[in-house]
Amino acid sequence: MRTLAFIENFISTVPFAMGQSMTKLKKGLEGQSNLISKLMKKHEANIPFIEDTMATDIEKVLETNQKLQLAFAELDEQSEKINSLETQQHKLVAELSKMEIERSNSAIEIMKKDKQLRTTEEQLIMMANLGEELGNDAKRYRSELESAHEELYQTYTIFDKEKSDLCELIEEQTKKLTESNAKQESRKECPICCWNYDNEDRLPRVMDCGHTMCHTCIISTINESDTEPICPFDREPMFGPITLGPLDPYQLPQNRCIME
């Protein structure tokens, strides 16, 4: 019931409130209209001046507009120049990038060459050290070679002396052998058995050392020897080193000179 009463009271008061609002609005509009009329009357004398001022301002605006158009044209020209400069800048940046890449590649090549130079320098140092070692070895080898040469010279000296002594001994033995052969040839008899040589059992035969004995004495010497038979005059082997097969007096040559 209270709610219904409240609603009825609200409905009855709404038209009154709206009427008051409309009255206030009407009064406000009338006040604004009066204010505008007063302002128009107040500034009515200034309208020609305002028009002149506006014309001047319009001329200034037009002039300013022309200046702005010129400025815009200059700006367009500057913009084109800027675009051209930007294009050139891009080209320069590209060239700089290319140069930077080339510089990097050159730096890499320089580093490689520097490494190669260092390696070569190390190799040269090693070769120098090796050359020094070889020089020291050469000096040592030269010293050893000189010592060996000195020893060899001394050996050759001793050898020459021994050779000279041996030659003298050989010459002396040859002389003795020649004298012995001469005696044997003059005697025409075997120096062992003292029988005269003949063409049968006493046939003279020459041994490898050069002495002469009869065939029978040679057989006796071979039979009496347990080892290789030797000459009874100089104790040298009776047969030569190239004798093949069993030892046989027939392998020794005959001395026909004694029989002549």
Last residue of a domain, one of 158, 187, 216: 187
Q: What is the pLDDT of residue 217?
A: 94
Same domain, 197 and 178: no
In a domain, 156, yes or no: yes
Same domain, 196 and 235: yes
How far apart CA 136 and CA 130 sit, in angstroms, is: 10
In a domain, 15, yes or no: no
Same domain, 197 and 216: yes
**Residue with token string 């010293």:** 143
In a domain, 137, yes or no: no
* CATH number of the domain that residue 199 is part of: 3.30.40.10
- Reported as a single tens digit per residue, the pLDDT across 6-58 is 555 554 554 555 556 667 666 766 776 677 677 666 666 665 665 667 678 77
Q: What is the pLDDT of residue 55?
A: 74
Look at the chain and report how many structural domains it folds into: 2
- Reported as a single tens digit per residue, the pLDDT across 200-224 is 889 999 988 889 999 999 999 988 8
In a domain, 155, yes or no: yes
In a domain, 108, yes or no: no
In a domain, 135, yes or no: no
In a domain, 128, yes or no: no
Same domain, 174 and 199: no
Same domain, 251 and 197: yes
Same domain, 176 and 205: no
Same domain, 194 and 178: no
Domain containing 160 equals 145-187
Same domain, 230 and 216: yes
Q: What is the pLDDT of residue 1?
A: 53
Chunk the chain into consecutive blocks of 10 residues (it has 260) and report each block's average pLDDT, rounded to whole numbers. 53 55 67 69 62 73 78 78 83 84 87 87 88 85 83 80 75 63 64 90 89 92 87 87 71 81
Same domain, 204 and 241: yes
In a domain, 206, yes or no: yes
Last residue of a domain, one of 133, 167, 187: 187
Same domain, 255 and 194: yes
Last residue of a domain, one of 156, 187, 218: 187
